[in-house]
Structure 1
């Protein structure tokens, strides 16, 4: 009996060592599996972002399967994208228990409010799942920064172009001044002949530079912001005739606004119908005063095809986004920016049979 006690002790010691080994093995296996899962999820997020070319809306729309696999039960995304608002729901609509986490991402005219419902494990701040979710938010925020940088870069290019135009005007003015001084100072016939020969060589080049510059300077800058009494139906008719559109204008209104800005705004809006091969359809334009809000509403719409897909309203005012082969994706963005200068606004509307734009202008800005 006494000899059996050491044997039992050795037996229990061996069993304990086996249990400890199994525990360590399964613990290492669990963490290795979690680490691999984390690595795959992060790789999938970065690969997806590259696939959609850092497009914030597409990245958000296609990232849900990855987030759902990490413990996201539901997500509500409230989006404001260059003036257009949209709400998207992901996951089951039924109410599910979990921790609610809210992320706000804002950059100029782009805003995301993400309301995420997480399960217990994913909601832990130190969990691997929460780390991937934070990475998702960081990628989305970085995409907004890139979009904003793209817009600023384009604006800088425009500013540099305007500076170039001003520099060309200065050069042309100096050339004319120098020419005038030479003409006034020359007396001998030989000098006059040499001047004419020199002008035959220099004038064509200066004339070409002047023509290129003057094309962009037809309207003095001081007149762009000068307000005047305008009949909206006349401004609309001029733009309709300019683009050879089939349109019916109903209603009248008088506004006091800068004619240059107002015309340019309508050119960008109605030009959208021309660029998308809608010039042959009848465009309805309704003008209606709203005395209670001291505003006038202009509704511009046309009939849509039965088989036409629903338009991406949140994309229409995004700069550099277009479905037209001839467009640059700036028309509606510029229209909205011009309306801001006139204290106006624009929004896109679509129904089952019609689609178009609702423009609101102040009667007394």
Structure 2
């Protein structure tokens, strides 16, 4: 720009009235203030959302620690956190060691928001989740999506932990089986040694001395033998030898074994393994002995289909307002128990044994009662 052009510009500015100049200055400052307030509000909003995000994620991890990484409890208790970041409703199909349940949390009405689908599974555990979110929260870049991803990741981690716990427990059982085998060997060696000593006794005085020694050692070995026998399992070959069996007689034997007060109706025959069926009903009815729910007798109803293809056994117990204590999806979970003396394997083993001959077991409950429904192949199957 030359000096002439600059002078002409300055002359033009001088021609602008003073009041217009002041107005332009005021509007300029106002624009700067508004822009500054906008930046301040934007920073405050981002900070607020970040704090809210961090709080929600921290709460999810805290809940997971509180429930000791239990996937089922975490799923139920995490919903308020998801709801706080835009969750409207969550629908889930849960399969937990053979038990299936549909769960709906949040709004009960028909949902119009966007939805996200997830499936988390490990062996006999799975969650198929349909999560409804507000449109604002459903955006892929929204902060809420990070909370949802954290929720799914924690759920996956909990299933991995549960699977590892089961594998560890199975290894412990294998080591315990080795211990039982070792005990059997020790008892057999003791019997062999005793037999050799009896053969070598020269006279009556020696026999008296041997009896005195046995007076101290035999009770100890007898106690070890009883303990070992209690935990021994029937040989596999015996477990699968089929024969014609009256189901009523099997159940009566187990009821007498546990001293259960019961009422048995009906009768039916099957061609299955007696030892295997005995183990099935011992594991089921043993729970009525370990966890009595009322003083009423256990109702057992045996029905045979008209075509002879299947036999159903209903084992019914009374609740008397204690239905909340029956966590149906937990019943068949291995190593889960409310008993201090139990191992949490009874119903799990019953279901696994029934699978060997296409049998099934399911659980139902109402306000006043609960029941196990055992389905067995009939004579015509």
What interval of TM-score do these two structures reach, taking the shorter chain for normalisation? 0.7 to 0.9
Report the equivalent of 2:135: 120
Q: Is the 8 A contact 2:359 2:375 kept in 1?
A: yes
Q: 1:292 to 1:57 in 2, by over 3 A?
A: farther
Q: 1:218 to 1:37 in 2, by over 3 A?
A: closer
Q: 1:328 to 1:187 in 2, by over 3 A?
A: closer
Counterpart pick for 1:29 among 44, 57, 73: 44
How far apart are 1:16 and its partner, in Å? 4.1
Q: Does 2:94 match 1:82?
A: no
- Structure 2 residues not aligned, in runs of 5+: 1-11
Q: Does 2:322 match 1:308?
A: yes
Report the equivalent of 1:251: 266
Match of 2:13, SS state, is coil
Aligned equivalents of 1:293 and 1:110: distance in 2? 34
C-alpha RMSD of matched pairs (Å): 3.3
Q: Is the 8 A contact 1:287 1:298 kept in 2?
A: yes
Match runs of 1:210-359 below 5 Å: 212-217=227-232, 219-278=234-293, 280-290=295-305, 292=307, 294-305=309-320, 307-310=321-324, 311-324=326-339, 326-359=341-374
Aligned residues: 359
Q: Is the 8 A contact 1:246 1:279 kept in 2?
A: no
Q: Is the 8 A contact 1:345 1:361 kept in 2?
A: yes
Query: After superposition, what is the alpha-carbon deviation per residue over 1:175-210, rounded to whole angstroms, capped at 9, x for unaligned?
Result: 7678888999x8999xx99xx79x979966766655
Match runs of 1:30-45 below 5 Å: 30-45=45-60
Counterpart pick for 1:163 among 163, 174, 178: 178
Aligned equivalents of 2:291 and 2:309: distance in 1? 33
Report the equivalent of 2:8: none
Q: Is the 8 A contact 2:323 2:367 kept in 1?
A: no
Report the equivalent of 2:122: 107
Q: Does 30-39 or 254-263 show the bigger shift?
A: 254-263
Q: Is the 8 A contact 1:285 1:298 kept in 2?
A: yes
- Structure 1 residues not aligned, in runs of 5+: none
Q: Does 242-251 or 275-284 show the bigger shift?
A: 275-284
Aligned equivalents of 1:211 and 1:121: distance in 2? 67
How far apart are 1:14 and its partner, in Å? 3.9
Query: After superposition, what is the alpha-carbon deviation per residue over 1:136-163, rounded to whole angstroms, capped at 9, x for unaligned?
Result: 1111122222222222211111111112
Report the equivalent of 2:107: 92
Aligned equivalents of 1:92 and 1:290: distance in 2? 43
How far apart are 1:32 and its partner, in Å? 0.8
Aligned equivalents of 1:304 and 1:11: distance in 2? 79
How far apart are 1:164 and its partner, in Å? 2.4
Q: Does 2:146 match 1:139?
A: no
TM-score, scaled to structure 2: 0.81
How far apart are 1:20 and its partner, in Å? 3.3
Aligned equivalents of 2:54 and 2:231: distance in 1? 54
Q: 1:169 to 1:283 in 2, by over 3 A?
A: closer
Match of 2:255, SS state, is helix
Q: Does 30-39 or 43-52 show the bigger shift?
A: 43-52
Q: 1:154 to 1:218 in 2, by over 3 A?
A: closer
Query: After superposition, what is the alpha-carbon deviation per residue over 1:246-286, rounded to whole angstroms, capped at 9, x for unaligned?
Result: 22222221112222221111112112222222474222211
TM-score, scaled to structure 1: 0.85
Aligned equivalents of 1:266 and 1:211: distance in 2? 23
Aligned equivalents of 1:207 and 1:318: distance in 2? 35
Report the equivalent of 2:66: 51
